[in-house]
Amino acid sequence: MIERTISKAELEVLLGTKTAEADGLARRVTELEGELTAARTSLRQVIKNQSEGAASST
């Protein structure tokens, strides 16, 4: 059986890389949540405007 030894330095580099990736993904999630909120707000406004237009034309 071959045993692989990973040094502390290698683990620290890997941890740093994965931490940076996780931070980047967390920022992207925050950006997407903001975009989703804006899209929902816009959609509500469109629905409201169409509803008001339909009500005034009847």
Taking the complete model, does pTM exceed 0.75, yes or no? no
Cα-only R_g, the chain? 25
Task: Locate 29 and state its tokens.
Answer: 């999630």
pLDDT digits (tens, 9 = 90+) for 7-27: 999 999 999 999 999 999 999
pLDDT digits (tens, 9 = 90+) for 19-58: 999 999 999 999 999 999 999 999 999 999 999 988 887 6
Residue 57: its pLDDT value, please? 72
Residues whose CB falls within 8 Å of the CB of residue 26, separated by 6 or more in sequence, listed in order: none
Torsion of Cα atoms, 19 then 25 then 30 then 36, to 10°: -170
Instruction: Give the E-state strand segments of 1-58 in sequence order.
Output: none
